[in-house]
Structure 1
Amino acid sequence: MISTILLVLFLGFYVLYSTSKKVTIDPHFRIENIIQQNTKTAKLIGLVFLLITLYLMIQILGVASGTLIFFIALMTIGSIIILLAPLKYITYKNLALFFVLSICIEFLLF
């Protein structure tokens, strides 16, 4: 469950990151072109994803620790996106591989 929540957090921050005018988009990714063309809707979707993530973290972990873990995860994932997105390391294949790996580790540990 935590892996899915972190994926939604990643998607929310990435959508908000992609709405920036300074971001150079890759023409191969159709989603990024749509995000750049519809910035108001994309910002709303990104904020909804972040709010859903915050709500789910609070429901699972409690108010104090859920909020703390949300902001820690937001800072960590945000830093990763800001560092790796300009280098074009964030692809759908890499994201899917990381998600499947984290789901497997989550099931093995819990």
Structure 2
Amino acid sequence: MVTGIALILFIAFYLLYSTSKKMTGVGVLGFEKWVDNHRNTSQYLGLGLMTISILLSCCIWGLGSGAFTFFVLLMTVASLVVLLAPLRLISYATMGGTVVFFLICELVLF
């Protein structure tokens, strides 16, 4: 479940990051042109996904721990997106491999 919450949070932050006026057109995942043409929709979708992520986090771990875990995940995901997106290191292959790796780790450890 942590992997799913982190993936939803990644997509939400990447949508919000793509709508930023300071971001240069990276275009690594392919849907950035749609995001650029539909800024308001993308921002609402990003905020909605972020809200879903914090609600799921609070439902699983409780209000205090869930909010703390959400903000830790948000800081981690945001740092990775800001560092790796301009270097064009975010792709579907790296995202898929990372999600599968963490999902296996989550299922084996928990």
TM range (shorter): over 0.9
Q: Deviations over 1:44-71 (max 9, x none)?
A: 0000010000000000000000000101
- Percent of pairs with identical residues: 38
RMSD: 1.2
Q: Deviations over 1:11-53 (max 9, x none)?
A: 0000000011222224574311100110000000000010000
Equivalent pairs counted in the alignment come to: 110
> Separation in 1 of the partners of 2:22 and 2:64?
35
> Separation in 2 of the partners of 1:14 and 1:78?
8
Q: Which amino acid aligns with 2:101?
A: L
Stretch moving more, 81-90 or 29-38: 29-38
> Separation in 1 of the partners of 2:22 and 2:68?
30
2:22 aligns to what? 22
Unaligned runs of 5+ in 1: none
The yes-or-no answer on 1:65 pairing with 2:60 is no
For residues 81-100 of structure 1, what are the structure 2 equivalents within 5 Å? 81-100=81-100
Unaligned runs of 5+ in 2: none
2:13 aligns to what? 13
TM-score scaled by length of structure 2: 0.94
Q: 1:72 to 1:28 in 2, by over 3 A?
A: closer
